[in-house]
A and B are shown apart, each in its own frame.
Chain A
Amino acid sequence: MTDPLQPPPPREQQHQAPQPTAAAAMLPPAEQPPVEAQERARSLVDGEWHRLHPATPLLRGGLAVIVAGFFLLNTLRDRVVALFLPDDLDYDGDAPDAIEAAEQLARSGTLLWVLLGLVAVLALCVLGFWLAWRVHTFRVTGDVVEVRQGILFRSHRRAPLARIQGVNLEKPWFARIFGACKLEIQSAGADANVDLAYLSNGLADALRYEILARAAGRTSSQQHQQQAGSRTQRVVDDFLRPDAELAGIASTSLVRLKPSTVIVSSLLDLGLVIGVLVSVAAVVAMVVLDIPWLLFTLIPTVISVVSITVRTLSQKLRYSIAQTPDGIRLAYGLLSTTTEVLPPGRVFSITVSQPLLWRPMGWWKIAFTRATKTTDASSGQQRQYANMLLPVGSLADVDTVIGLVLPDLRGTRLLRDGLVGRGAVDADAGAEDDHAAAATHDGFVTTPRSARILRPLSWRRNGVAIGDDAVLLRKGRIWRSLGIVPLARTQSFAMHQGPLEGALGVAHLAVHVVGNAFSPTIGALAVDDAQRAFAHAREVVPAAIGADTTETWHVRESRPDAPPTALPAAPDPASASGRDLRPGTVDWSTSGPIDGVEQQDVTNRSDAAGQDGPAAQPQTPQQPASQQQPPQPHPGADARGDEQQR
């Protein structure tokens, strides 16, 4: 278990972090000050194996087993007791009978054995649970997280931290009672998550920040110094107010939902309204035509609709999205809460849309796709919901949220046109081939007038624009929507044309992204425009991919071209503004007191280059390729040694 490479910790730290015996490390933080939890979280990432919260077996189904066992025992009690009794005794479970039965058993000497048997079964269960808990261990080394579990069927999962797609903190209501929660480290792919279930709240929270810090290539102490005050606060308040950590975040990078908005928007669902109308019609028909059996078909529908509405409502009511130094923080859930952190570059496509009934209120919603796919049957509803960046919000909220993902798009005319633009008005009066002029007016290349039969209502709006950072696909006049794909997240893109499209002189474009069964597509573009857009995309997409640094935090920092600065610098505005801000876009780094993601990255790089962090060490002649190789634990352990000695 002990890493031989690890140097002994210095003296002053020994009292804070003694070789953490697992049980001590996992005590609920309610019994200890949160600062300790923080220290322990740091001790958890020391590359040693650690165990989970002691209540884990109970929370992971043990509770259900016990309840079911009691239920079964209660129902079958009489049968079981009768099994041990002589045949002549007529036992039916009444109290005098039971006493008599016990006496009988005592006389025959079986009572002892029955009781012993019961105790043995119980002991076996407890032993099983205890063993399962004991072998279920995890460790976080410099660049990987590993989980081992299982007695008969063993499994050992190892995931590189640089590949993290997001970190979730899930708190089901029953686990909240125990002050425990589930830390879910998401990787791309189907069921590729590493679950640490369950950890105590404060610990999981601190551990999450440690993991994200390591994924970002920061050393632990840096992270600690930068955020000492605020993180202590976070750990304390986790019990009192789940969203306390949002307190320090400026409103320019934070969106919370008003309960009234959420409730009204949920009720304004078109399906729900139609359902209510149909139900009312059915009730009227029932009364007027005297067919009472209609009620039986109606009631289950109403029950299911109400339950679904209430469930989604309970998640939306406490919904927030915010920018934190580690990425986008999403939190939702009323009883069972979930807090997700999506590191930069983990949002693969965005769809902003406006349901018809929301239009008078000017509300929008934002969905997104991610690389993680979880087929968790028990919480399928939640999974589905977690693909919303914003369940409902005004245009300003949409702008803020888009700004979290694509800072350079925030507040631009292009985004606004994409959302509410009607296309070039000039096209109305103009000649047939006016779309070229339209493109100059609006930024979007739209459907030509000659092909308006394909988009009879929305042809002026239907169009595509390739911005500096993203492709924008604008659609729909009645149901308005805007698809946004960051250029750096594009896998490939295609231009299609069928025979009918050929006859009309149009073609359609598709952008292929991860985690989406249907590619974002825009149809009915003039052949010239489609070809021009395609050619343009072929120039800018590879460039954007090459320039992208969000995906590979870790590797990026070990690139030789990282500027070596002499000092382990504090966040330096000069270096941050040195990144290539494109002209004509909002400078995100000055728009709020919280560091923008990109800016944070830049600072990290110079920090890492300046210190002997894990990244700056010449572990291997590391080229970007090494991100897919199994990472070696040693550099991480060494790095930690450095850090402790410092």
Chain B
Amino acid sequence: MERIDLAGDWRRVSPRYAWAELWTSAIWGAIIAAAVGVFLWLVSDWDRWVPIAIGVAVLVFFALTGLFGFLRVRTIGFLMRDDDLLVRRGMLFRRFVSVPYGRMQVVDVTQGPLERMLDLKTLKFVTAAATSAVTIPGLPGTDAEVLRDELVAVAESRRAGL
């Protein structure tokens, strides 16, 4: 087992972000578990406990995925170098993306209801390529705004075309 890794002074995101992931996955799990359970209960002539068991299994699966987030959030990080922004994420499926600052088209800062409760924000760096997908979630307080302004300023000085 040889994993890709890049050494560096990675800035990590807030561990609280794992709670957001957990809640998101719990809510989706509950919805899907209920839908699957009700559907099976309606169309099948099994005993009542079979759909319930299946629903619970779905819920547990989602809860585990959510718990996994506590490990995964530790792998999310970013690094601002002189010429590019480097973002990493993923534990099993690892992904390192490097974006030269000049490629910035738009920077988004978003906050969902769960994130608002946890006082976290998500920053999205949009380039002209649809596949870039550079997102940094779990930025606490005003970190996202600060980072955004920083990125915009540095991109301004290195603006390039497409």
Contacts and interface: CB of A to CB of B under 8 A. Distances in A.
B93 A542 contact: no
A282 B27 CA distance: 55
Contact of B160 (A507, A517, A548): A548
A162 to B, nearest CB: 9
The 4 A-B residue pairs whose C-beta atoms are closest, nearest first, are A551-B161, A542-B83, A491-B129, A512-B129
Most buried by B among A348, A495, A531, A625: A495
A345 B129 CA distance: 16
A371 interface: yes
Please report whether the interface of chain B is mostly helix, strand, loop or mixed according to DSSP.
loop
A419 to B, nearest CB: 26
A491 B4 contact: no
B93 to A, nearest CB: 5
Contacts of A546: 83, 102, 158, 160
Contacts of B2: 502, 505, 527
B160 A494 contact: no
A23 to B, nearest CB: 39
A502 B3 contact: yes
Contact of B1 (A492, A503, A512, A541): A503
Interface in B33-91: 81, 83-84, 86
A393 B123 CA distance: 47
Contact of A527 (B4, B92, B101, B130): B4
A497 B161 contact: no
A538 B81 contact: yes
Contact of B162 (A512, A514, A624): A514
Contacts of B93: 496-499
Contacts of B94: 495-498, 502
B129 A513 contact: yes
B98 interface: yes
A29 to B, nearest CB: 35
Given A497-B3, A513-B129, A348 B162 contact: yes
A151 B96 CA distance: 52
B3 A625 contact: no
A538 B159 contact: no
Number of chain A interface residues as a range: 35 or more
A542 B162 contact: no
Nearest to B158: A546
Contacts, number: 122
B161 A534 contact: no
B84 A494 contact: no
Contacts of B4: 495, 497, 507, 527, 530-531
Contacts of B31: none
A627 B161 CA distance: 9
A552 B161 CA distance: 7
B118 interface: no
Contact of B129 (A498, A514, A552): A514
Interface string B148-162: 000000001011111
A283 interface: no
Contacts of A502: 1-3, 92, 94
B128 A491 contact: yes
28 contacts: A188-B128, A491-B103, A491-B127, A492-B100, A492-B132, A496-B94, A498-B92, A498-B93, A502-B2, A502-B94, A505-B2, A512-B129, A514-B162, A516-B130, A516-B131, A527-B3, A527-B4, A531-B4, A538-B83, A538-B86, A541-B98, A542-B84, A542-B101, A542-B102, A545-B102, A546-B160, A548-B160, A627-B159
B134 interface: yes
